[in-house]
Structure 1
Amino acid sequence: MKRYILTGAPGAGKTSILRQLQGQGFDIVDEAATAVITREQAEGDAEPWTQAAFVEKVVALQRRRQMQSAASDVTLQIYDRSPICTHALSTYLGRPVPETLSAEIDRITRERVYEQQVFFIRNIGFCRPTDARRISFQEALAFERIHEQSYRQFGYVLVDVPADDVATRVAMIADTISQLT
């Protein structure tokens, strides 16, 4: 199975792009961090990313989703973020990388779980805060740089998806995937 990662700065338009790709028939695996935040907020924790176990919860959900999707009969999937993004998140939060995350990165590297080409969605010049994304545009830019560094550190090749309208970005990604497969 071919698994491509789509990543980038918070608020860069990843979700809009992914929904359009899904509408074109691509199999999408949703972002784990947002799911963890939404679940924890529903349980009364307004800022779950401040909890020590937050990164481990994200890693556990990413692994569970990846393992469940491995049983699928589809031949190609697009992931909204990956454990490498969680590495960037841990770095951004100023926390040491937990052993569970290091082990997961070792596993995905050893097993070559994801394709080496990663679609890096560039920021669109602003970042709208949401309940799950309470980050300024300047903070999003810093997070974007950390993401780039993390992916390069682990040997991934970034496919730059510049700021543009959603349809153009979707077409670029779909075209690139068809050339790579």
Structure 2
Amino acid sequence: MKSKRIVITGGPGSGKTSLINFLEKKGYNCLPEVSRAVIKKAQAEGIDQLFLEDPILFSEHLLKGRLEQFNELPIGNDDYIFYDRGLPDVTSYMDYLGTTYPTYFSETCLKNRYDAIFLLPPWEDIYIQDNERYESFDQAEKIFEYLHQGYQNYGYEVHHVPVGSIEYRCDFILKKLKTLI
């Protein structure tokens, strides 16, 4: 049986990574977000905010990293593989910035398909800005809308995950997956 590719996405400060970490502790195959590594590498090279300074270069690094994740399925017979963000996040963020990007970005998103998309809303109670998360909470809310629209533009049904404990959110996703796949 082929594992189903499941994206967990959302704007900054929505609890995505905590949820992915929780799923991983429960024994699910989970692939981490690649943007923090790209940001840290750029900062080590003296570029404070690569996404703002050169959004195309930053996005090319993200697209490449996420495509590598997509193509390198983990070993095992797990029903699900959870991704901390998916390929359409790249174009959604660029749309948010109003940045024009080459057509291969969209073509890559259309060609490499996930089985289910779960979108987490911004959550002000847990929102923290740091060296890699420079957006304000208002910006996080706008990014959430762009992510929703971006995935819909690629033909996905987007499932909104309600705010709540990590356990509640995990149960919501796992129960929903049983009805979808």
The two structures have a TM-score, normalised by structure 2, of: 0.89
Give the structure 2 partner of residue 145 of structure 1: 145
Q: 2:117, 2:159 within 8 Å by CA — same for their partners in 1?
A: yes
Quote the Cα distance in structure 2 between the aligned partners of 1:18 and 1:145.
Answer: 21
What stretches of structure 1 move > 6 A for 4+ residues in a row?
Answer: none
Which of 50, 54, 72 is equivalent to 2:75?
Answer: 72
Structure 2: gaps spanning 5 or more residues:
none
Give the structure 1 partner of residue 124 of structure 2: 125
Give the structure 2 partner of residue 96 of structure 1: 100
Q: 2:119, 2:158 within 8 Å by CA — same for their partners in 1?
A: yes
SS of 2:72's partner is helix
Which of 10, 13, 28 is equivalent to 2:12?
Answer: 10
Give the structure 2 partner of residue 56 of structure 1: 60
Structure 1: gaps spanning 5 or more residues:
none
Quote the Cα distance in structure 1 between the aligned partners of 2:10 and 2:131.
Answer: 19
State the shift of 1:141 in Å: 0.5
Q: Does 1:105 align with 2:109?
A: yes
State the shift of 1:67 in Å: 1.3
State the shift of 1:180 in Å: 3.6
Quote the Cα distance in structure 2 between the aligned partners of 1:47 and 1:159.
Answer: 31
Quote the Cα distance in structure 2 between the aligned partners of 1:157 and 1:179.
Answer: 13
Quote the Cα distance in structure 2 between the aligned partners of 1:143 and 1:163.
Answer: 17
Q: 1:124, 1:164 within 8 Å by CA — same for their partners in 2?
A: no
State the shift of 1:74 in Å: 3.8
Q: 1:120, 1:159 within 8 Å by CA — same for their partners in 2?
A: yes
State the shift of 1:19 in Å: 0.5
Q: Deviations over 1:80-126 (max 9, x none)?
A: 11111111111112211223312311321xxxx311x3111122125
Quote the Cα distance in structure 2 between the aligned partners of 1:98 and 1:26.
Answer: 35
Quote the Cα distance in structure 1 between the aligned partners of 2:36 and 2:175.
Answer: 28
State the shift of 1:68 in Å: 1.8
Give the structure 2 partner of residue 154 of structure 1: 154
State the shift of 1:79 in Å: 0.7
State the shift of 1:36 in Å: 1.1
1:35 partner letter: A
State the shift of 1:39 in Å: 1.8
Quote the Cα distance in structure 2 between the aligned partners of 1:65 and 1:53.
Answer: 19
Q: 1:59, 1:100 within 8 Å by CA — same for their partners in 2?
A: no
CA RMSD of aligned residues (A): 1.6
Q: 1:7, 1:119 within 8 Å by CA — same for their partners in 2?
A: yes
Quote the Cα distance in structure 1 between the aligned partners of 2:110 and 2:174.
Answer: 29
